[in-house]
Amino acid sequence: MKYSFHPAAENELYQAVNYYNRCQDNLGLEFAKEVYSSIQSILAFPQTWTPLSKNTRRGLVNRFPCGIIYNLSEKEIFLIALIQLNKKPGYWKSRL
């Protein structure tokens, strides 16, 4: 199964990597690796993660307070948002 990013979700990823790099050298790279690992888990087991609606689910990123909101279809997983878990919880809903 393939996946793609909503442009705003891709931007959130870049912003988070930059943020973590400012906090500590190479922490942004570690964050990106954890996000990629979480995406691989989502691809392998797309139905396993927490449902938010009929076709929308949330996966979690290890070691970081971050979630991946995605829409599941038969052919693709569409990554809607990369959310910081302690921020506004529903800000991404307009992207659906």
* Each residue's pLDDT tens digit, 69-88: 999 988 899 999 998 887 76
* Each residue's pLDDT tens digit, 5-47: 999 999 999 999 999 999 999 999 999 999 999 999 999 999 9
| pLDDT > 70? residue 89 | no
Rounded CA gap, 46 and 6, in Å?
17
The domain that holds 61 is classified in CATH as: 3.30.2310.20
How many separate domains does the chain show? 1
Q: Within 13 Å, how many C-alpha atoms sit on residue 15's CB side?
A: 11
Residue with tokens 């990369």: 82
Four-point Cα dihedral 73, 77, 80, 81, nearest 10: 140
- Provide the residue range defining the domain that includes 44: 2-95
